Structure 1
Amino acid sequence: MKQVFGKTGAVMALTLALTVPALTPAMASNSHATIESVKFNGMDAPKTIDQMVKTYTNASLEVKYSNGYTKKFPLSYKRLFKSEDQVALNKDKLIPAGTPIDVNGNPIIDRSVPGAPAYYVSDAPDANSLLKPINGQLYMVTHYEYQTIDASGTSAYGIVPASMSLSTLEQNKKTGELTTKSVKKIDFSGVNGLWIPCNGSLSPWNTHLGSEEYEPDARSFETNPTSSARTSVESFARLYFGDASKANPYFYGFIPEIAVGKNGETSVVKHYSIGRFSHELMKMMPDKKTAFFGDDGSYTTMFMYVADQKEDLSAGTLYAAKFHQTGTENGGSGNLEWIKLGHATDKEVKQIIDSGVKFSDIFETSSVPKDGFKAIRQYSYGKTEYLKLKQGMEKAAAFLESRRYAALLGATSEFNKMEGVTLNEKDGKVYVAISDQSNGMLANPADPADDMKLPKIKSGVTYQLDLAAGQKDSAGNAIDSKYVAAGMSGLIAGKDMPSADAYGNTADVNTVANTDNLSYSEALRTLFIGEDSGMHTNNFVWAYNVDTKQLSRILSVPAGAESTGLSAVDNRKGFSYIMSNFQHPGDELEGKSITAVDKNALLSAIQKEIGIDRTGGVGYISGLPSLEDLLNPNRDVRSLFK
């Protein structure tokens, strides 16, 4: 997500057609072979305007077999559609894929230019879940996170309801090539609409787990009628319900789960028992009960959820981490202590919301230090506040004000720009993106708490969490999970530069800057990283082999665009894909110092090629071999050379 607000989106996938030479005599005599190694041969950063405006790759995947044969698979890119393309069928009429719909299913209209009504169109397609086949059919859920500007050129971020779509995809049986058969908008009317959906993930039981990022601050909403929290939620309600009086900040900041039925129909629930905070992404563990999250923003918290039952997120226990620092090498390290916030069901929390509860019903406040009040600092309010929990409001606090309540109980609320999360099941690792290591993660003696004293790395750090069984919470009670994060340490640290280079980069272009979306392929033993960086003029997708530690650039998106929405999919009907997204091309380029190319010509080229802050691209990279085949320990390699 963008440095302040968070952005993500258009779709790419890595698929797998093979073009191969004839079988050699040496191969024929040793036809059965295992995979010795897999590596990505990376690509250079773009150097010309033509390269800087495109989404492209000239990287390759190299596979070495045990019989000594090595094969390269070149990668390439193909676009499916743009968010502005009128491909979504809505009430027998085609509308742009990125246009949100209201509570009645009607497209929401942008009336910012008098006399010229137009569809709102998100320029921020984000997460994509390529579901396992349902009745033999492939479906993809896509987020449209927000809209950067309206038709008049005014900022529209956070004031327009968001949306998701379901694409029905066709797959070429020989090559694996994907094409879009149909697109339809997903109905969120049963859960009061959808708020800023950032990244998402596919659950082990084949449902899409979405997100609602940057939850509106209920305290500001209640006490300050001119606050952004009030104006944005009221704008949302006016456009979605047609009635600003229905605005309620406690409707938003949760995990929506989307299930797709056998006939392609969707159903949506929001899981209130998971807690309310700035949900970047929810990643389930192999037990189908435990989950970790990104909590995006400044002064945020690491949360863990343990469901009561497998494959059922309607009830569970929410925990928050206290960070005990152990070092600063490679970004930093620390042990994690888990504080239990409480247990709840979706129904219980929804009943609290429906009762009309307000922030002032949950907490007493003071403007100055006061006996019985605790000083905390957390994202949604932004500054130090003095709070006291009202009697009997523990459950409301734990699940509607999760970050505030966690801080009151002693959890660490100092994380900064905590974004993507993914799992390496074999090694028992969870990877977490800290896009910008600054603010609360540095030594700040003036803050109410100062658990984190890590080095400032504006270009961010990708961390790994070590999972363990038999863990207890801070009160000494057993945590009912074998997948509890016991510690975290830096894996890949960005490299800030003292000044910009000729392309406007302020972080080393040969390593990751502002790590955001993460996805891991078990078959490739590779962590994929998508950037959300203003420090790189062009954002990239990287492949990091966890065994060899090799980092390779494998994709470049248009200058000013963000590369996110990664999803490594190891097998769909015999083919494999890695989804990746880009959004808001050309954003914030005007403020950059670029001398290597003509900056005005670059802006003009982006405007001509795809448009600035008007649309996002959807497509995929082709060229990977079948990852299912790579997992076969004794393949007959002759099948690769027919």
Structure 2
Amino acid sequence: MLNTKLKLSFLTASMVLALAACDGDDGEQGPQGPVGEQGPAGQDGADGQDGASGEDGANAQASGKLTRLATVPAGAEVTGAFLTRQGDLFFNVQHPDDTNAAMDEFNGRAINRGTVGVLAGVNFNQLPKNIVSSPVPESDYERQTVVSAVGQYQVLGQTGDTFADLGDKGLPGGLGVHYSMVGNEKIIENENPDFNGFIPTSDNEGYLFTNWESYPGGVSRLKLNKNTQGTWSIAEAMMVDFDNVWGTAANCFGSVSPWGTPLTSEEWIVRSSVDSTTDASWNDPADTSTDGLEMLTAPDFPNPYRYGYIAEITAPTSANPEVVKHYTIGRYEHENSVVMPDRKTVYSSQDDTGGVLFKFVADTPEDLSAGTLYGAKLTQDEGLSDPAVTGFDVEWVALASGDNTTIAAWIADYDGIDTSDYVAGKTSYMSMADVQAWADGATHYPSEAQGGSPVTAGEPMDDRAAFLESRQAARLKGATAEWRKLEGISINHDRVMEAITGQDMIADEIVTEAFMYIGIADIDNTMIDDEGDMQLSNRVEDCGGLYRAHIDSNYSLTRIEPVVMGSTYRRSLDGAARCDVEQLSQPDNTIVMRDGRVIIGEDGFQENNTLWLYDPAGN
């Protein structure tokens, strides 16, 4: 409070008296006399009343700090960031340049193949706040190796490694190598390790599951042991068997469920378009390219509705892990799914142009085989368009309820289709007219003359559109289908649990609010086209950014807002200069640490992509 004090002072001065004579003129004024000495100060006056309080200022946008944790070799993406409960950080080097030749001192091998690894010798649960960024690579050695701010990057395995020293515990076919279901023929050596998920069996032992993103895809499992210096050794190696679910396609990012099972995501391009949900040329005899999926099932023609789901690896530590595809979570280009602490609510991101943010709520905790699927409807902040300040309120549009068994029967309806069923200009699978009829609440599917599919023409309506053609179903029901490369989504389970329940999950810290973080690789195309629910400016464009979503007491997302954006997109320069190397460039995977900091992996334009550590303002 500002105290106003009134100080009284008296000045002594000469007084001049003007005397007027009776009936005479006034005399001239005499000269002013000298100023007298200042008298003693009077007592302070009473304090005035406090002024009225001003209005609260607007909430500031989060403006935290980015620290470069590591850079990966030339040509590579940073993928598979996974932080264990013990504080170990795994991440991968996806498709590095095969000409990289530098041999780093720690591993003694070049990183010129798909590489699975870990930052050894550091506990990220105890990571200090004052770590200094690793440098932007300058020398050829730095450009061709992993340069880190903390720890040493330990290579655990590379594409084609057989681990021959493990004897019958090794992998004769090679790490990341996929085989067909029929004839067990070698299909592909995969250079694209993506998601990592660690299932501990003790404090210093467990199984590392790694996605291999290709067509067809796969998942490897390495049994690991950690010594007292924090470095790791491999005890067993295997590729998970997906034959019981007709193989898998483009296994991208993923997560580990709260009950300890890896959830691997099929990011296979589902071939959706404006006019036809499944491309009419899929079974065209003149164009039989099916993204390599025919190599899984040959001589049978692949059914596209068998791919594009979340697959759960159950019994993950057993000799033969089992795989269940959860058709209930919907079919689209899955980046990854995250299960909330209620063990029922699942969020899933669609990595494509015109994508949807989905929510699934299971009927029973820890059982994803039955429940209800939703799509997010966004309302953009009025009067705003710059990606750095523009958020969205979220409502959830119910699509349908279903279970794996029922949906599997719908999928099987399309198994017998092959090139002999092809009709030029028409799809042999679900048509846009089918999905529109479902969205309109029709009692029956349209006839073929009305644009319906031959499989369901004239049949009573069911909910297969919601689960087999989820993007188009959500769009027609009013959900926002405008995300562009909606990438990794992540929570810290303990922080969310404590924020919602008040249960103390994190020692020495009281958390009252927690968020789901969302990586967006590109803020362009359908997000900036001046149409629909998302109408952002093109300032950031291909540099992308990081969002966070508010979680309410029912584990529902209510608002999405920007946290940190990439730099202004610079069209006047080429290559790496398009996005500032000191800022985000196409963030991909995200991981939330126990203390609220966020780890972000880049899939950007830079010569050497970065693994960032973001510390939110006020964390």
Fold conserved (TM > 0.5)?
yes
CA distance in 1: counterparts of 2:432 and 2:611, whole angstroms: 46
Of 219, 223, 233, which aligns to 1:179? Answer: 233
Tell me how far 1:11 sits from its aligned partner.
2.5
CA distance in 2: counterparts of 1:544 and 1:202, whole angstroms: 22
Please give the per-residue CA displacement for 1:456-479, whole angstroms capped at 9, x wherever unaligned: 22200111001113xxxxxxxxxx
Name 2:298's counterpart in structure 1: 242
Name 1:87's counterpart in structure 2: 163
What 5-or-longer segments of structure 2 have no aligned partner? 1-75, 79-93, 96-113, 418-426, 441-450, 500-512
Name 1:170's counterpart in structure 2: 225
Name 1:141's counterpart in structure 2: 209
CA distance in 1: counterparts of 2:234 and 2:152, whole angstroms: 18
Q: Tell me, yes or no, if structure 1 residue 224 matches structure 2 residue 224.
A: no
Q: Tell me, yes or no, if structure 1 residue 314 matches structure 2 residue 382.
A: no
Of 347, 350, 355, which aligns to 1:295? Answer: 350
**Quick one: structure 1 residues 190 and 134, their matched pair in 2 at CA, closer, same or farther if it must change by over 3 Å?**
farther
CA distance in 1: counterparts of 2:572 and 2:159, whole angstroms: 32
- The structure that has the greater radius of gyration is 2
CA distance in 2: counterparts of 1:394 and 1:215, whole angstroms: 24
CA distance in 2: counterparts of 1:104 and 1:399, whole angstroms: 28
- Residues 217 and 229 in structure 1, CA contact (< 8 A), matched pair in contact too: no
Q: Tell me, yes or no, if structure 1 residue 411 matches structure 2 residue 479.
A: yes
Name 1:208's counterpart in structure 2: 262
**Quick one: structure 1 residues 206 and 305, their matched pair in 2 at CA, closer, same or farther if it must change by over 3 Å?**
same
Q: Tell me, yes or no, if structure 1 residue 467 matches structure 2 residue 551.
A: yes
Tell me how far 1:53 sits from its aligned partner.
1.1
- Residues 420 and 432 in structure 1, CA contact (< 8 A), matched pair in contact too: yes
- Counterparts in 2 of 1:264-279, with a 5 A limit? 264-279=319-334
Q: Matched residue of 1:12: which SS? A: strand
**Quick one: structure 1 residues 166 and 500, their matched pair in 2 at CA, closer, same or farther if it must change by over 3 Å?**
farther
* Matched letter for residue 451 of structure 1: D
CA distance in 1: counterparts of 2:307 and 2:321, whole angstroms: 20
When the two structures are superposed, what TM-score results if normalisation uses the length of structure 2?
0.67
Of 524, 527, 546, which aligns to 1:441? Answer: 527
**Quick one: structure 1 residues 300 and 503, their matched pair in 2 at CA, closer, same or farther if it must change by over 3 Å?**
closer
**Quick one: structure 1 residues 496 and 85, their matched pair in 2 at CA, closer, same or farther if it must change by over 3 Å?**
farther
Tell me how far 1:259 sits from its aligned partner.
2.0
Name 1:556's counterpart in structure 2: none
CA distance in 1: counterparts of 2:344 and 2:238, whole angstroms: 30
Name 2:117's counterpart in structure 1: 12
Of 351, 362, 367, which aligns to 2:409? Answer: 351
Tell me how far 1:494 sits from its aligned partner.
0.4
CA distance in 2: counterparts of 1:135 and 1:38, whole angstroms: 25
Q: Tell me, yes or no, if structure 1 residue 498 matches structure 2 residue 570.
A: yes
* Matched letter for residue 407 of structure 1: R
**Quick one: structure 1 residues 213 and 227, their matched pair in 2 at CA, closer, same or farther if it must change by over 3 Å?**
farther
**Quick one: structure 1 residues 93 and 440, their matched pair in 2 at CA, closer, same or farther if it must change by over 3 Å?**
closer
**Quick one: structure 1 residues 177 and 213, their matched pair in 2 at CA, closer, same or farther if it must change by over 3 Å?**
same
- Residues 214 and 297 in structure 1, CA contact (< 8 A), matched pair in contact too: no
**Quick one: structure 1 residues 36 and 253, their matched pair in 2 at CA, closer, same or farther if it must change by over 3 Å?**
closer
Q: Matched residue of 1:133: which SS? A: strand
Name 1:519's counterpart in structure 2: 591
- Residues 77 and 602 in structure 2, CA contact (< 8 A), matched pair in contact too: no
What 5-or-longer segments of structure 1 have no aligned partner? 19-33, 61-74, 110-119, 147-157, 376-385, 470-481, 550-642
Q: Tell me, yes or no, if structure 1 residue 452 matches structure 2 residue 534.
A: yes
- Residues 490 and 592 in structure 2, CA contact (< 8 A), matched pair in contact too: yes
CA distance in 1: counterparts of 2:485 and 2:251, whole angstroms: 16
Tell me how far 1:511 sits from its aligned partner.
1.1
CA distance in 2: counterparts of 1:530 and 1:240, whole angstroms: 31
CA distance in 2: counterparts of 1:502 and 1:215, whole angstroms: 29
Q: Matched residue of 1:544: which SS? A: strand
Name 1:623's counterpart in structure 2: none
Q: Matched residue of 1:94: which SS? A: coil
**Quick one: structure 1 residues 392 and 144, their matched pair in 2 at CA, closer, same or farther if it must change by over 3 Å?**
same
Tell me how far 1:263 sits from its aligned partner.
3.8
CA distance in 1: counterparts of 2:285 and 2:356, whole angstroms: 22
CA distance in 1: counterparts of 2:562 and 2:326, whole angstroms: 31
Please give the per-residue CA displacement for 1:460-519, whole angstroms capped at 9, x wherever unaligned: 0111001113xxxxxxxxxxxx11111101111001342577983310110111010001
CA distance in 2: counterparts of 1:533 and 1:36, whole angstroms: 26
CA distance in 2: counterparts of 1:454 and 1:289, whole angstroms: 33
* Matched letter for residue 393 of structure 2: N
Q: Matched residue of 2:141: which SS? A: helix
Tell me how far 1:428 sits from its aligned partner.
2.3
Tell me how far 1:101 sits from its aligned partner.
2.0
C-alpha RMSD of the superposition? 3.5
Q: Matched residue of 1:436: which SS? A: coil
Of 459, 464, 468, which aligns to 1:396? Answer: 464
- Residues 422 and 519 in structure 1, CA contact (< 8 A), matched pair in contact too: yes
Q: Matched residue of 2:360: which SS? A: strand
- Residues 119 and 154 in structure 2, CA contact (< 8 A), matched pair in contact too: no
Name 1:304's counterpart in structure 2: 359
CA distance in 1: counterparts of 2:397 and 2:168, whole angstroms: 46
- Residues 233 and 248 in structure 1, CA contact (< 8 A), matched pair in contact too: no
What is the percentage of aligned positions where both structures have the same residue?
A: 28
Name 1:191's counterpart in structure 2: 245
- Counterparts in 2 of 1:243-642, with a 5 A limit? 243=299, 245-261=300-316, 263-326=318-381, 327-329=384-386, 330=388, 332-356=390-414, 362-363=430-431, 365=433, 392-424=460-492, 425=496, 426=499, 427-445=513-531, 450-456=532-538, 457=540, 458-469=542-553, 482-499=554-571, 504-522=576-594, 524-534=595-605, 536-548=606-618
CA distance in 2: counterparts of 1:297 and 1:229, whole angstroms: 27
Q: Matched residue of 1:316: which SS? A: strand
CA distance in 2: counterparts of 1:437 and 1:12, whole angstroms: 30
Tell me how far 1:443 sits from its aligned partner.
3.4
Name 1:619's counterpart in structure 2: none
Q: Matched residue of 1:13: which SS? A: strand
**Quick one: structure 1 residues 177 and 93, their matched pair in 2 at CA, closer, same or farther if it must change by over 3 Å?**
closer
Please give the per-residue CA displacement for 1:300-342, whole angstroms capped at 9, x wherever unaligned: 1111111111111111111001110003351521101110001
Tell me how far 1:234 sits from its aligned partner.
6.9
Aligned residues: 459
- Residues 137 and 168 in structure 1, CA contact (< 8 A), matched pair in contact too: yes
**Quick one: structure 1 residues 234 and 42, their matched pair in 2 at CA, closer, same or farther if it must change by over 3 Å?**
closer
CA distance in 2: counterparts of 1:319 and 1:496, whole angstroms: 34
Tell me how far 1:131 sits from its aligned partner.
0.7
**Quick one: structure 1 residues 183 and 76, their matched pair in 2 at CA, closer, same or farther if it must change by over 3 Å?**
same
Q: Matched residue of 2:117: which SS? A: coil
**Quick one: structure 1 residues 419 and 393, their matched pair in 2 at CA, closer, same or farther if it must change by over 3 Å?**
farther
Q: Matched residue of 1:131: which SS? A: strand
When the two structures are superposed, what TM-score results if normalisation uses the length of structure 1?
0.65
**Quick one: structure 1 residues 229 and 251, their matched pair in 2 at CA, closer, same or farther if it must change by over 3 Å?**
farther
Q: Matched residue of 2:375: which SS? A: strand
**Quick one: structure 1 residues 36 and 241, their matched pair in 2 at CA, closer, same or farther if it must change by over 3 Å?**
closer
- Residues 176 and 190 in structure 2, CA contact (< 8 A), matched pair in contact too: yes
Please give the per-residue CA displacement for 1:397-436, whole angstroms capped at 9, x wherever unaligned: 0000000001111111111000100014243200111110
Tell me how far 1:125 sits from its aligned partner.
0.9
Please give the per-residue CA displacement for 1:167-221, whole angstroms capped at 9, x wherever unaligned: 111221x123212222111110100001100001111111000010034327475
CA distance in 2: counterparts of 1:234 and 1:494, whole angstroms: 33
Of 46, 51, 60, which aligns to 2:142? Answer: 51
- Residues 221 and 229 in structure 1, CA contact (< 8 A), matched pair in contact too: no
**Quick one: structure 1 residues 342 and 229, their matched pair in 2 at CA, closer, same or farther if it must change by over 3 Å?**
farther
**Quick one: structure 1 residues 547 and 268, their matched pair in 2 at CA, closer, same or farther if it must change by over 3 Å?**
same
- Residues 417 and 435 in structure 1, CA contact (< 8 A), matched pair in contact too: yes
Q: Matched residue of 1:211: which SS? A: strand
- Residues 142 and 164 in structure 1, CA contact (< 8 A), matched pair in contact too: yes
